[in-house]
Amino acid sequence: MKRIWVVIFNCFLLGLPTLAWAAAEKAEMLEKKVDLAKLGGINYFFAKWYNDNLWVYALIVTVLMGVVGMLIALVTDVFLKMAGMEVSKIEHHE
């Protein structure tokens, strides 16, 4: 019985942010647009996606963050190998 109450309580806690967001008085305040007038290049690209479709913008940014993270890891790996440190998987022997 205790486990059921814990599950119900966790579902309630997960639903609180949704309830708070739904209770916003003015939905117009949530819609923010970026001024594209003085932007150029990559800034214009991301600002246009942000204004047009927020879901696609979020997807692009998430994928881009993963790619940048992998690039940082690979460059760090190369520098550590050049410094003579062993950068391989650690085997755990128990």
What's the confidence (pLDDT) of residue 29?
58
List the pLDDT tens digit at each of the 94 positions of the chain. 888 888 888 888 887 777 666 655 555 556 777 777 788 888 888 888 888 877 888 888 899 999 999 999 999 988 888 888 877 777 777 6
* Nearest C-alpha neighbor of 73 from the set 84, 83, 61, 65: 65
CA distances from 71 to 41, 57, 59, 90 (A): 22, 21, 18, 21
Chain length of the chain: 94
Rounded Cα–Cα distance for residues 26 and 19 (Å): 14
Q: Is 35 a domain residue?
A: yes
Q: Which domain holds residue 17?
A: 2-82
Q: Is 14 a domain residue?
A: yes
Q: Is 94 a domain residue?
A: no
How many structural domains does the chain have? Answer: 1
Q: Is 65 a domain residue?
A: yes
Is the pTM higher than 0.75? The answer reads: no
